[in-house]
Amino acid sequence: MPLFSGEVQEWDKIEKGETNPELAIYGSSRAFIQINPEILENNLKLKTYNFGLNGSKFKMQFYRFKLYLNNNVKPKIVVWNLDTFSFSHIDSVFQPNQYAPFMLWNFKLYNALKEYKDTSFLDVVFPLYRYRNQKYWKDQITRSKKEKLNKDGFFRDNGFKSYNRKWNVNWEKLQRKPSNFNRVDFLLLEQLINLCNKKNIQLIFILSPEYYKGQPYMTNREEIIKYYKSTINKYKIPFIDYSKDTISYQKKYFYNTTHMNYKGADSFSLKLATDLKQLLNSN
């Protein structure tokens, strides 16, 4: 059942060790709906899977990565899409109930979520307590039954799902404001780098395209990217910034300022595959 845009299915796959790609993609929704693993796999000849976590910040993406390493064969290469809001402070995680099926006696998951509201220790130690809101779960199950599944019973294709959505941005309602950058969470970036070095996993960071007119609305955007580059360059890890690429200037590829439609996703994935091939061949 594709609860929460298929996230429950994806968590279940990771826990059961059912993916095991050579090339793994991580990030937020801007990874899972914009990077087509089939295009990368066809061009790079590497088994590819997209582990993008919808609506997430870096902390929960990193939790997903560590869970993957505990239950699956390590990938050769990890492509990690950073967003300029990856380390923004949040009070609650997106769709917290996606974690409910995995909470019982799972203290690692509880520790990852405990700082956010809507997380209760009772969810971990009392069976079925996390399903106490019966109306909510009935509504979610009813809604998920309307989602179209693939022939294999999954909502996503190797973790990927593109959307045929039309441009929907009201410029008058957009407000210019800074990202509430969380310096404590930003320390996790170096933890990821050190973990990949220890596991001998090749790590590549990218910043996927963003529609150019929307970029100035985050007033400290350039400062955040400098933070990224400073840390990443210190470890001599590749970082490809597509926010200034020509694709970021083509409105036809986007349905809002930070997310691409299915045409944009395929065009970007092909561009990314070409760049990755050149990068991997040079090493």
**6 phi-psi bin (left φ>0, alpha ψ -120 to 50, beta other):** left
Q: What is the pLDDT along the chain (283 residues), one digit of tens a residue?
A: 689 999 999 999 999 999 999 999 999 999 999 999 999 999 999 999 999 999 999 999 999 999 999 999 999 999 999 999 999 999 999 999 999 999 999 999 999 999 998 899 999 999 999 999 999 999 999 988 888 888 888 999 999 999 999 999 999 999 999 999 999 999 999 999 999 999 999 999 999 999 999 999 999 999 999 999 999 999 999 999 999 999 999 999 999 999 999 999 999 999 999 999 999 988 7
Question: What are the structure tokens assigned to 95, written together?
Answer: 């769709």
Dist. CA 76–CA 255, nearest whole Å: 33
Count CB atoms within 10 A of the CB of residue 91. Answer: 8
Beta strands in the chain (DSSP E): 23-26, 48-50, 77-81, 202-207, 239-241
**C-alpha to C-alpha distances, 118 to 4, 110, 164, nearest whole angstrom:** 16, 11, 32
| CATH for the stretch 7-282 | 3.40.50.1110
- Give the Cα-Cα-Cα angle 228, 33, 248 (nearest 5 degrees): 60
pLDDT value of residue 242: 98
| pLDDT score recorded for residue 145 | 86
pLDDT of amino acid 9: 96
Residue 17's H or E segment, with its range, is: none
- Cβ contact 263:253 at 8 Å: yes
C-beta separation of 160 from 32 below 8 A = yes
Exposed, middle or buried by CB within 10 Å (0-12, 13-18, 19+), for 225?
middle
Q: Helix, strand, coil % (nearest 5) of the chain? A: 45, 10, 45
Quote the pLDDT of residue 143.
87
> 82, 52 in Cβ contact below 8 A?
no
Which of 130, 127, 121, 5 minimizes the C-alpha distance to 55?
Answer: 5
Q: Give the separation between CA 261 and CA 34, rounded to whole angstroms.
A: 8
